[in-house]
Amino acid sequence: MKRLLCILLSALMMLSAIPAMATEEPVKLTWFVDVPSFVFNSEGWGMDRMTAEFQEKFGIEIEFVTAADESGSQLATLISSDSVPDIITLKGLWDTPSTNLIKQMAEAGMLASYNDLIDMYVPEEEKAGFRSDVLAWYALSDGKTYAYPNYAYSTEDLPEGTGLVPNRCIVVRADMLEQLGNPDMSTPEGFLDACERAMKEIGTYEGQSVIGIQLYESGNEAVNIVSEYFAVPWETEEGQAYSPWVTGDNKETYAFLNEAYRRGLILDANYSDTRDQVREKIASGRVFALVAAPQDFITEFQTLYDSDPNAYYVPVALHNAAGDEPTLTDISGWGYLQTCISANCKAPDKVAQFISYLVNDEGALHMLYGWEGEHWEWNEDGTISVLDSFAQDCIDDPTLRKQLGINCFDLFANYAFLMQFEEPLDLEDPVDLRTYRTSDVQIKQPMSDYSYRPAQRRYDPQDERATLVNEETLKAESYLTIAEAELLTASSEEAFEAKYAEIQQTLPTMYDMELCLAYENDALQAGKAQLGLDFFFPPYAEAAESAQ
């Protein structure tokens, strides 16, 4: 009898424990993003439908903490105080300090490897979601991977013959171009002439003066963008790292931008503009040609289009004077940002399962599109259609997607995989037409023929030259910051020629160029070896393949 009573009491205790298990509090995790521009597009974790569902499904509550600046000091303080966040996102492999930090943290036992997490916590049928070649590219010398990127693509992701759209793209106002009679803008002179005509012949838009060419804030990235259009080589014909200043390969780029400045097409204000000032100029309709990445100004494109459906941007295939095809870099390469899991993560099993969900088909589609049947549906051809009712609801309430948490963050997004589900737009439909006119992907699509994976470098954190190279590079950058500004704003062609020659002569004396180039070349060759390539620069790679 006594034994039976004990059994009954135990059963009652187990039954009483079931509700407590069902309402178990989620594990609270900190996700530190060491990238000031990152935005968690939600009112807060669990406050939107998407993250509330994640919280219920995986038993985690995440607090996103974003770095206040680019210094890296916040993360350094957390590491030194032994308060490493559960999840950490840093800049990608292109950022040497981030790469070195991940290596150091891994060696110090501060990070968990994805390989171990996958083996322990991810079901067999989901493991392929972590692309094997991406894991291999990010592996350290121990063969394990401690960071996984977003916007990386595997060789499995792209159908043969299909490329990604470029990251950055030169675009012009289609309505103004038509007003000018659709002049040819594919040559340097034709491009500049059209921009000048827009300023002189069109003059104003909605009462404000037209700007011929608008660059990013402070003129940032203009040289890099134009260099890609002008097919400035990424390496020598022998596949080695080099200085375009020494060879003069960058001269046409600088001459083009300087002529644009001297002709008044690039305003003095552009070299002191903030990002918000650039946004305002685009949204107000003043900008004829934009040299930037369209994805950074989608909101402004939409604002302009909503006020004037004729005011939208189209890409321009600008070539160099020799007529060479542009060699634009695509939007992913081998990743943008990389995310690590702390060895002290409070719930490594839950985090591994959550990330596995995001990189596998179901989770990737759910995050991007929302809920099947409510927000999207399958088409017979395997693409996805956003329901008209939801599209209209989003127009009526631009905050709706944020309220739902759809695509609230993209730190494990794989666009190369997702692009195959995009339904062709119906340009007879006003909603689709608006998307076609203002979406960065749609705007840049014609330029995918010129888009390639960028060159990738693999820096060795153990290289004893690293500190000295960094010091020498800073010397060069300090000199070039002023010298380039003077070159780009030279008052005449003669002044430009003199300044360019001065830089060519002076730069090699400002730092140890030989040391820095040797260091860069080793990293370049290591990147090619990791991918099994002889060349990154597309024309050289194609020539080598044809010669075989």
Token pair for 322? 């020799």
Output the pLDDT for position 5. 35
Query: Would the pLDDT of 4 be above 60?
Result: no
- For 236-240, 314-318, 338-342, 457-461, which range has the lowest pLDDT when averaged over its residues? 457-461
Residue 289: Cβ within 10 Å count: 27
The string of DSSP codes covering 366-413 is HHHH--BTTTEEE-TTS-EEE-HHHHHHHHH-TTHHHHHTTT---TT-
Which residues have CB under 8 Å from 135's CB, separation 6+? 114, 115, 145, 148
Structure tokens at 130: 């972590």
**Range 24-159+334-421 has CATH code 3.40.50.1360:** no
| pLDDT bucket at 347, cuts 50 / 70 / 90 | very high
Residues β-bridged to residue 284: none
At 404-439, the pLDDT tens digits run 999 999 999 998 899 889 888 889 989 889 999 999
How much is the pLDDT for 420?
A: 87
Domain boundaries, given as residue ranges, for the chain: 24-159+334-421, 168-329+425-548
Q: How confident is the model at residue 13 (pLDDT cuts 50, 70, 90)?
A: very low
Q: How far apart are CA 86 and CA 349, in angstroms?
A: 12
Q: What is the token pair recorded at 165? A: 């759209």
Tokens 């080695």 belong to: 240
**Six token digits for residue 98:** 């981030």
Domains 24-159+334-421 and 168-329+425-548 belong to one CATH topology: yes
Q: Which residue would you say has higher pLDDT here, 203 or 529?
A: 203
In contact, 523 and 466? CB cutoff 8 Å: no
Label residue 291 exposed, middle or buried (CB < 10 Å: 0-12, 13-18, 19+).
buried
Residues 87/60, Cβ–Cβ less than 8 Å = no
- Measured in whole angstroms, how far is the alpha carbon of residue 461 from the centre of its chain? 24
**Class of domain 168-329+425-548 as given by CATH:** alpha beta
**pLDDT above 70: residue 134:** yes
CA distance 22 to 34: 35
pLDDT attached to residue 419: 86
Which run of H or E residues covers position 291?
A: strand 287-292
**Cα 247 → chain centroid:** 30
pLDDT at 81: 87
- What residues have CB less than 8 Å from 353, skipping those under 6 apart? 58, 121, 122
pLDDT-derived band at 23 (thresholds 50, 70, 90) equals low
Which pair of tokens denotes residue 126?
Answer: 């989901």
Alpha-carbon distances of 523 from 235, 455, 460, rounded to whole Å: 12, 11, 7
Q: What is the pLDDT at residue 7?
A: 32
The continuous run of DSSP H or E covering 471 comes out as: helix 466-488
pLDDT, one tens digit per residue, over 350-387 is 999 999 999 999 999 999 999 999 999 999 999 999 99
| H/E run at residue 288 | strand 287-292
Q: pLDDT band for position 21 (50/70/90)?
A: very low
- C-alpha to C-alpha distance for 260 and 254, rounded to whole angstroms: 10
Bridge partners, 385 (sequence order): 377
Quickly tell me which residue has 């890296």 as its tokens.
Answer: 72
Is the separation of the CB atoms in 402 and 48 below 8 Å? Answer: yes
User: Quick one: average pLDDT of 475-500?
Assistant: 97
Q: What is the DSSP letter of 14?
A: H
Mean pLDDT of the chain: 91
Residue 37 has pLDDT above 70, yes or no: yes
Place of tokens 């305002």: 280
Give the tens place of pLDDT for each residue, 145-169. Answer: 999 999 887 877 877 766 788 999 9
User: DSSP alpha helices (H): ranges in 158-217?
Assistant: 174-179, 188-197
Confidence tier at 18 by pLDDT (50, 70, 90)? very low
Q: Is the pLDDT of residue 2 over 90?
A: no
Report residue 519 as tokens. 């260091």
CB of 292 closer than 8 Å to CB of 270:
no
Closest by CA position to 296, among listed 36, 65, 37, 34: 37
The maximal CA–CA distance of the chain, rounded, in angstroms, is 108
Question: Rounded CA gap, 282 and 216, in Å?
Answer: 11
Whether pLDDT at 20 is above 50: no
**Residues of the chain above pLDDT 70, percent:** 95
Q: What is the mean pLDDT of residues 474-495?
A: 97
Question: Which one, of 461, 455, 359, 355, lies nearest residue 142 by Cα?
Answer: 461
Q: If you ran DSSP here, which 8-state letter would residue 330 be given? A: B
pTM: 0.78
C-alpha distances out from residue 430 to 113, 221, 305, 375, 437, Å: 48, 34, 12, 18, 10
The helix-helix angle for 251-262 and 188-197 (nearest 10°) equals 20
Average pLDDT score over residue span 515-539:
93
314 alpha-carbon distance from chain centroid:
21
Question: Residue 8: which pLDDT band, with cuts at 50, 70 and 90?
Answer: very low
